[in-house]
Structure 1
Amino acid sequence: MASAEFVNPLPQYPAWRTIGDCMASEAKSRGIDFTESGPTGGTLDATKMIQQIQQATADKKGAIITFPASDAFTPVLQNARKAGIVTGTLYGDGGDVVVGPNYTKLGKMFVDAIAKRPGQQNLGLMAQSDTGQAKQWTAGVVAAAKATSNVKVVGTVYTNDDAAKALDQANALLTAHPDINVIASHMGSVTPGVVAAIKSRNLVGKVVFVASGADNGGKEAVAHGIAYGAWLQGLCDEGKTIIDAVADKAEGKTVPAHIDAKETIGTKKNLSTLLGQGWG
């Protein structure tokens, strides 16, 4: 494979910047001509990304890697494959190779961390939607909670991964279920809203958050005791893994259709250490 393009959903966002940089480094080590594109602003622009995938297809790139931000990416990636291009996707289906969480297992990981807290844990969930990977995560949490003696899911709200909805939905969750003492989410977009809701209701020390990622206030929330922990991924490892996987597939090697991302829950005790090791 001579070339590859990464259509980065958020090139300026720290986590995605790390993934892109590590992808580029690994591509260079394999002698692959690597290019990166993506929206130039600070907001995910699915329409722009699709246009860039189409351009990369027209340019006959050897591989195209992206985050499939909506169902509209599926036919575009299919067209790339029809053109003989190997496709890879991060955190979502649609590529010849997918690197990302197993969301059902991820749900259990959240519960395993929460169950270590003393006493009864009444858990409120904030999910993207009741479909796809968000549904898998929610189902994983519910199933794992039922297997514990101290974790119970008492309510769920949805934000469509829209940061502007996070505060209202966090408040709605806490209003409907005043017994909640833990909120958890698989989305980094909700962190500021959840933190604001906990603070405004004077619930610091009474309700804790398990965040998605250290960015967007996650690290600070853990440091200040508002978040019990943060879900972290091996971001650099993911960038290297996806470029290696598409290159290996292009060379005719057997590559799994789905490669699980490396994940952990970082707490106040070890979060800084994990971040220094390339987790995020």
Structure 2
Amino acid sequence: MKFHTRRPIALAAIILTASAALTACGSDDDGGDSGSSGGDGGGSLSMTMLPKNLGNPYFDTSTAGAKEAADDLGAELEEVGPETASPDAQVSYINTVAQQGKDALILSANDPEALCDAIDEARSADVKVVTFDADTNPECRDLFVNQATAEGIASKQLELISEQIGGEGEIAILSAAANATNQNAWIDMMEKELADNPDYADIELVDTVYGDDDDQKSFDQTEALLQNHPDLKGIISPTTVGIAAAARYLSDSSSKGKVALTGLGTPNQMREYVENGTVESFALWNPSDLGALATYAAAALANGDISGEEGDSFEAGDLGEFTVDADGVVLLGEPFTFNADNIGDFDF
């Protein structure tokens, strides 16, 4: 996969061949007033970015990338969102986008089904809808910008935990919300691979718990896992909030160095825990690139450069050219593993 150095906050890494559900940004031109999608000086597009929740370092980074892409396009982009990651909390923001007549909505969905009615209203108002980071059902949106495949992300996390526990022992999963589309897809794939792959025959998944992408709850769930499973050898946390909270707990506990931790995190969150030996390695794509790609995809839709059909292609600035795959999916790239040897090279 490619590394991109154009943004100071992310020189980048994309993880795995993975695809969980994750990306979105859409835009429409209100029937004939096509904004300027290439930064060539016409009228500007107006886009809204709606992450799962505000105050999350992962989404802070994806929004920063989206804003840089919007600047490159000469478009307007605002970020809105709830403090807590729930589908009900996102509905009012989607309704507002429709009422304001925005060209595009870039959305990380807190539920694959619960937002569809609101999204339908927005699309009826000529708003292009692109999901990113976590998808809705394909029928509900125009495009999904995916960082990687569910199979790829699942395989990467199992590969890392297996290496760290010597291929045997009890493991647990600390996820985000119980209804998080992307988390559940990855967990399903991990469960299947654990059952079917002989390389993991001596690894047992003993528990899956949910921290709701809340720092304190994820911290408490880590403590509970260790109390409930005294023989636990490793934890996988496929969420940036969860892995950081788990690392914070482990770093000050007697389990440091005894219970392995991996999953999906950002270098800036995890650097201290890698450097102090709490975490050996973890993975992630570049969320800044993910937000940027969703923004370029939304602009291409809004300007009529693509319709979202399989085989459509569009330019995404320094990221290069991308093609729409089946079911309206655009794939960002491949995986990257962060460890003590390379984590100092990244800043996001």
Alignment TM class, shorter chain as reference? 0.7 to 0.9
Within 2, Cα distance between the matches of 1:154 and 1:66? 32
SS in 1 for 2:284: strand
2:58 alignment partner in structure 1:
15
Task: Report which stretch shifted further, 184-193 or 204-213.
Answer: 184-193
Cα-Cα RMSD? 2.8
2:46 alignment partner in structure 1:
4
1:260 alignment partner in structure 2:
331
Q: Cα distance 1:13–1:117, how it changes in 2: closer, same or farther (>3 A)?
A: closer
Higher relative contact order (CA closer than 8 Å, sequence separation 6+): 2
SS in 2 for 1:149: helix
1:135 alignment partner in structure 2:
184
SS in 2 for 1:233: coil
1:80 alignment partner in structure 2:
122
SS in 2 for 1:184: strand
Q: How far does the alpha carbon of each residue in 1:111-152 deviate from its partner, in whole angstroms, 9 at most, with x for none? A: 222333472343221223277432221122233344253561
Listed as ranges, the matches of 1:97-246 within 5 Å are 97-100=143-146, 101-117=148-164, 119-122=166-169, 123-128=171-176, 129=178, 132-145=181-194, 146-149=196-199, 152-159=203-210, 160-199=212-251, 201-214=253-266, 217-246=269-298
2:318 alignment partner in structure 1:
none
Aligned residues of 1:115 and 1:148 also touching (Cα < 8 A): no
- 1:197 deviation in Å? 4.2
Moved over 6 A (4+): none
The size of the alignment, in residue pairs, is 274
2:102 alignment partner in structure 1:
61
- 1:182 deviation in Å? 1.4
- 1:217 deviation in Å? 4.1
TM-score normalized by structure 2? 0.69
Within 2, Cα distance between the matches of 1:57 and 1:72? 17
Q: How far does the alpha carbon of each residue in 1:36-68 deviate from its partner, in whole angstroms, 9 at most, with x for none? A: 0314x8655766643332222122222111222
Task: Report which stretch shifted further, 57-66 or 118-127.
Answer: 118-127
Q: How far does the alpha carbon of each residue in 1:170-217 deviate from its partner, in whole angstroms, 9 at most, with x for none? A: 233223333322111112222354235434540111112114212684
Unmatched segments (≥5 aa) in structure 1: none
Within 2, Cα distance between the matches of 1:21 and 1:102? 23
Q: Cα distance 1:4–1:271, how it changes in 2: closer, same or farther (>3 A)?
A: same
Q: Cα distance 1:105–1:167, how it changes in 2: closer, same or farther (>3 A)?
A: same
Within 2, Cα distance between the matches of 1:86 and 1:42? 24
Within 2, Cα distance between the matches of 1:131 and 1:60? 28
- 1:106 deviation in Å? 0.6
Task: Report which stretch shifted further, 251-260 or 227-236.
Answer: 251-260
SS in 2 for 1:198: helix
SS in 2 for 1:25: helix
* AA matched with 1:36: E
- 1:8 deviation in Å? 3.6
- 1:252 deviation in Å? 4.6
Within 1, Cα distance between the matches of 2:251 and 2:286? 30
Within 1, Cα distance between the matches of 2:216 and 2:268? 13
Within 2, Cα distance between the matches of 1:52 and 1:182? 38
Unmatched segments (≥5 aa) in structure 2: 1-33, 36-44, 307-311, 313-323
TM-score normalized by structure 1? 0.83
SS in 2 for 1:138: helix
* AA matched with 1:109: K
- 1:109 deviation in Å? 1.0
